[in-house]
Chain A
């Protein structure tokens, strides 16, 4: 029982003509669609252009406008302002502020993050790619780990921020704090610190963090900021302040209850304490949690790109699985792994949300000196400036963004170069 041929409209010239769509219209529509697609695609270029233009205009415009004189003078003033910006701490007045401490904060935090995340991530990737188990239930565990990593990559960074805060900063709300640590290691000395009439720091060593206040005595030995021993010149209230600069430097006025005092802890560069508090180490480790899945996934891709034949050749020569990894897989995949690592680190450099939770909104005047120092990073500094209600700080934020983008550009460019070298090698 087949269809009567007259019901098949294809075979009926007249019916066919009736039903036929205009090819010209379809073609015109198609051309319009392609044009539409290219316009939309160009939109992303426009957005990128606008973004960069806006930021560069804002981040350099005010510097250029504020510089004066002839063109040459303006250019040199322009660069002068930039170098000031790069080398100064943030200040209350926008025109004096700079990005120096947060640049070093970024370096410290990213160093911690990289030192932990990169080896750990690459090791995990090697395990997942090169040591695939044969037993069914182990394979299931393997698949679970893999799924788990893809999921970790999707966890918002702000959640890692909370986790980092709970684990590293407060250490599950352990009783201590950064002022009263439960445990600490690497203290060079604890001092009571005073500011002399000559605006110098004078320090008197004490026994412990909670030692009673020092009783100052005229003529006792004190130390200045460089650790040089001085003889204290303690004068009563109302006595004339000495004119001699040298003497003024070690002069304190003995007001009622003693001169204004603060406790200064001289920490070694290897100083550590528990809990970590809002410190570089806590920030770096939190950032490590954020980038670890990224490192793992990119390293896995790089390792997977190594042809199976190479591994089989090595195994055939009697290599153990680890020897295969060390002699064959790793050397072949190291450029790819490096590329992935660099990209992961550039992600870490730009990440602000978890650091905002760890470091809080604070003014940091100097670069961190050890792992336990409080810190800020560039994106966070930019955030602080951008959320300031004064417009001048927005300009500063834009300048900070230029520096940040320049650093990221450097990182990404090196990743691209490595990738291209690698591709050539394969070819």
Chain B
């Protein structure tokens, strides 16, 4: 798959600094996305990972849809300002867990949960919680890009308009910042007034990311953000994730083992609603404690 990238692209990016906590803002101008060979990145990451404090704590967490128990007794700690990947076979409950972190499942009538889920000191599951404020602090990006049928500008400005009484010029600055941050600015700066539905799938997904970060979240949840994208856009989004993880706590669901290995600092493996294994990515991938995990990972990696 992506292991055999054309040599040209690999060498074009060979000079860029390795991804590390300390690296400086990389110039993104859209035309030359930084594409690195995954094996190389994998090696780098193993050396550079230093996980921060815990941002999200999940303990004894159960979730159900009506009678069906989707998650059983999950205990997990998600470190701050890093990328955490949820992996596991289809239907194992990754999306469910992700959606409980910002209570998106409140709008699913039959969804219920129990246990404890805290973001720093905030008890996410308390019934009287202000979910509006929670979701402002915990943004989410969905599997399929879902821009509003509005202009590109309005899409990004949507969240800020909800939460802040910002002036037009402040909004414009914010939109530019968010679009630059999500590596989309150069592609869309001349057509901010045009409909977002006219963008390509990859651009739409990056727009959704821009839209999510424009409200200033602390945590960013991403449910298979690359599943609808081609390899090129995928790498652009992965780069973006790497860039964002300097400031945000990022949780990403993925089916792509290489992506998990490349783009995450820690990994949690779920199977049939249970958390089988979690830990630093290099550890889970190179030295899995549970044979189940190993079988899944190696099965995928071939």
- Asked whether B166 is an interface residue with its Cβ less than 8 Å from the other chain, the reply is yes
Q: How many A-B residue pairs have CB under 8 A?
A: 50
The CA of A21 and the CA of B162, in the complex, are separated in Å by: 8
Note all chain B residues with C-beta closer than 8 A to A19.
Answer: 164-166, 170
Contacts of A10 in B (CB 8 A): 160, 174, 177, 214-216
Distance (Å) between the CB of B134 and the closest chain A CB? 10
CB contacts (< 8 Å) of B130 on chain A: these are: 23-24, 27
Residue contact A23 to B176, C-beta cutoff 8 Å: no
A26 part of interface (Cβ distance < 8 Å) = yes
A-B contacts, 16 of them at CB < 8 A, read A2-B180, A3-B173, A7-B170, A8-B173, A9-B173, A9-B174, A10-B216, A16-B164, A19-B164, A19-B165, A19-B166, A21-B162, A23-B130, A23-B133, A26-B132, A27-B130
Assign chain A's interface to a size class: 10 to 19
**A185 to B216 alpha-carbon distance, docked (Å):** 87
**Which 7 pairs of residues, A with B, have the shortest CB-CB distance?**
A10-B216, A19-B164, A8-B177, A7-B173, A23-B133, A3-B173, A23-B132
Interface residues of B (CB under 8 A from A): 130, 132-133, 136, 160, 162-166, 170, 173-174, 176-177, 180, 185, 214-216
CB of B170 within 8 A of CB of A9, answer yes
> Is B170 a contact of A27 with CB atoms below 8 Å?
no
By a CB distance below 8 angstroms, the chain A residues around B216 are 10-11, 16
A1-50: which residues lie under 8 A (CB-CB) from chain B? Answer: 2-3, 5, 7-11, 16, 19-21, 23-24, 26-27
Q: Chain A binding site: helix, strand, loop or mixed by DSSP?
A: helix
Closest to B163 in A: A21
State whether A5 touches B132 (Cβ < 8 A): no
Docked CA distance A221–B163 (Å): 101
- State how many angstroms separate the Cβ of A16 from the closest Cβ of chain B: 7
Do B164 and A27 touch (CB < 8 A)?
Answer: no
- Chain A residue nearest to B169 (CB atoms) is A7
Known: A10-B215, A10-B216. A3 touches B176 (CB 8 A): yes
A9-B173, A19-B170, A24-B130 given. 13 additional CB < 8 A pairs? A2-B177, A3-B176, A3-B180, A9-B166, A10-B177, A10-B214, A10-B216, A19-B164, A20-B165, A21-B164, A21-B165, A23-B132, A23-B136
B160: A residues at CB distance < 8 A: 10
Which residues of the partner chain A approach B133 to less than 8 Å between Cβ atoms? 23
Residue numbers in A under 8 Å from B162 (CB-CB) = 21, 26
